[in-house]
Amino acid sequence: MSKMNALLKKLAADQVVTVEEALERQKTEWIDDLRRLFDQIREWLAPGSGSLVIAEHEIEIAEEDLGPYRVPAMTIRVRTGHPRTVHVEPKGMRVVGVVGVGERRLLGASGRVDLTCGPSRAILLRFLDAGATKWKLVLDDGTKENLASDSFAMALAFLLDLE
């Protein structure tokens, strides 16, 4: 098959009837990615179930093109001598850019999730790459990492002031 035919076939497979349909499909993919992210976080934190309480709930967010809609969210309560709560809340599928401390703006993200505990914040950015979802972690101190078990642990330590 020629490159042109392959391109046209790919475009035809991705065709939608309306802009609203395209936005609805993107929103559904975003919410599915959030659910997979929260499943992964639960899996990473499962060994600490005695000192952590994970609660899931839904919040409503609103975006200009999408209007209000509900997304999963999470709280991670730490049951230690200094109990604290980390809030994991999606901020939206549309991301203009995120600036790390002393860094250039990160562009191209297709979703943002904030992790907060008191005044500390870490940001998870969703990137779509050839149909695969990749998450990047950005800390308030400018640290940027691909999201994995170790980088998530680093973010929790940062948020809980345990580093």
Q: What is the pLDDT of residues 77-96, one digit of tens each?
A: 998 777 899 999 999 998 76
Query: Per the structure block, which two tokens stand in for 37?
Result: 């992210």
One digit per residue, the tens of pLDDT, for the chain of length 163 reads 788 888 887 777 766 678 888 888 889 999 999 999 999 999 999 987 788 999 999 999 999 888 999 999 999 999 877 789 999 999 999 876 655 545 556 677 889 999 999 998 999 999 998 879 999 998 877 778 899 999 999 999 989 887 6
Rounded Cα distance between 120 and 13, Å, is: 43
| pTM summary value | 0.83
- Domain ranges in the chain are 3-159
- Burial, 40: exposed, middle or buried (Cβ in 10 Å; 0-12, 13-18, 19+)? middle
CB neighbours (10 Å) of residue 74? 21
